[in-house]
């Protein structure tokens, strides 16, 4: 039995690290941040503004905003749309992502 990768003639992509909440995770070229987190078994990386309920990817196409993370200090980035780049620092987003602004 052949694998899907063999059927399309694919080859393994380069692997590089990204940081998530102090952990180093392996990312492959072309993966979204959500895909990197899923591959590491991480299903929740945001809390809601009201009540602090955990959230992660829901729609996977950037329409619902459930997958918001802070990337390199920029809050409200949609993990399902943002490509992982070598050396990225991703952190769980709490609420609006602007707590440090004291709004």
Per-residue HEC secondary structure of the chain comes to: CCCHHHHHCCCCCCEEEEEECCEEEEEECCCEHHHHHHHCCCCCCEECCCCCCEECCCCCCCCCCCCEEEECCEEEEECCCCECCCCCEEEEEECCCCHHHCC
Question: pLDDT class for 47, splitting at 50, 70, 90?
Answer: confident
Question: pLDDT class for 103, splitting at 50, 70, 90?
Answer: very low
Residue that the structure tokens 């895909």 belong to = 35
Q: What is the pLDDT of residues 50-81, one digit of tens each?
A: 888 889 999 888 898 899 999 999 999 999 99
- In the chain, the N- to C-terminal Cα span, in Å, equals 57
Q: What angle do CA 91, 22, 28 make, to 5 degrees?
A: 75
pLDDT value at position 11?
Answer: 75
Higher pLDDT, 46 or 102: 46
Kindly report the average pLDDT of the chain as a whole number.
89
Enumerate the domain spans of the chain: 11-94
Higher pLDDT, 23 or 94: 23
The residue length of the chain stands at 103
Fold assignment, 11-94: Ubiquitin-like (UB roll) (3.10.20)
């Amino acid at each position: 039995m052949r694998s899907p990768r063999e059927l399309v003639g694919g080859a393994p992509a380069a692997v590089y690290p990204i940081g998530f909440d102090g952990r180093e995770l392996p990312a492959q070229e072309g993966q979204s941040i959500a895909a990197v987190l899923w591959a590491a078994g991480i299903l929740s990386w945001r809390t809601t503004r009201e009540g602090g309920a955990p959230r992660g990817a829901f729609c996977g196409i950037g329409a619902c905003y459930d997958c918001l993370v802070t990337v390199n200090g920029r809050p409200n980035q949609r993990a399902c749309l943002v490509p992982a780049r070598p050396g990225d620092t991703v952190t769980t987003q709490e609420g609006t992502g602007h707590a440090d602004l004291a709004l």
